[in-house]
Amino acid sequence: MALTKAEMAERLFDDLGLNKREAKEMVELFFEKIRAALEDGSQVKLSGFGNFDLREKKERPGRNPKTGQEIPISARRVVTFRPGQKLKARVEGYAGSE
Amino acid sequence: MTKSELIEEIAKDQNHLPQRDVELAVKCILEHMSESLASGDRIEIRGFGSFSLHYRPPRQGRNPKTGESVALAGKYVPHFKPGKELRERVNDAFQNNP
């Protein structure tokens, strides 16, 4: 099962005793403040978890996969995530589901 | 933006909560996310993005000091795919103010 905002809010309610509304707002604000910083052109560094970096991509040739027609992919700014050492170490040990 | 700046940003909008509570909440959310990935579960946040694990197959590596060849086991690494709203907000801001 995938982790969602509702479960994060539930955890804040259970572990920290925030009320349901506060917990929901807290989770919303957490993601909104990260989005706003990235929109503003700032990198976001969350130690122990990872960094959200911004990269600028030059225009490059692309193709419409349906029609095969060539259309350029315009220059753009994209978000990339670089997991931190601690998160990488915790995930590396995962043995897989199969 | 660092984790402590994120905490300050959220605290500004949650002035009924002490900054200490915001700090605990941010740490709780990050721990919940790390824990989820470490147990092989995805994270799905609409408008922000999704985190999942990507498998890296075993390979022959090299000890950079000795040049000796070493067998590296297969492992999982965290992967982030930005969601539509995050992608659009970051790129629109860039197009309007490169």
Q: How far does Cα B28 stand from its chain's mean position?
A: 14
φ, ψ (nearest 5 deg) of residue B85: -65, -45
Determine the Cα angle at B86 with ends B6 and A11, to 5°.
Answer: 50
B contacts of A91 (beta carbons < 8 Å): 37-38, 53, 76-78
Q: With contact defined as beta carbons under 8 Å apart, do A45 and B3 qualify?
A: yes
- Please state the rounded mean pLDDT for residues B18-26: 96
For tokens 């002035």, the residue is B15
Q: Pick A38's closest partner by Cβ from B2, B21, B86.
A: B86
B contacts of A90 (beta carbons < 8 Å): 34, 37-38
A45: nearest CA in chain B? Answer: B2
ipTM of the complex: 0.92
pLDDT of B80 = 98
Express each pLDDT in B34-80 by its tens digit.
999 999 999 999 999 999 999 999 999 999 999 899 998 899 999 99
pTM: 0.91
Sequence-distant (6+) residues with CB within 8 A of B85 are: A35, B47, B48
Q: What percent of chain B has pLDDT over 90?
A: 89
Q: With contact defined as beta carbons under 8 Å apart, do B52 and B79 qualify?
A: yes
Determine the Cα angle at A16 with ends B85 and B20, to 5°.
Answer: 80
Pair type for strands A50-57 and A44-46: antiparallel
- A87/B37 touch (CB, cutoff 8 Å), yes or no: yes
Residues of chain A with pLDDT under 50: 98
- Please state the rounded mean pLDDT for residues B7-35: 95
- A54/B75 touch (CB, cutoff 8 Å), yes or no: no
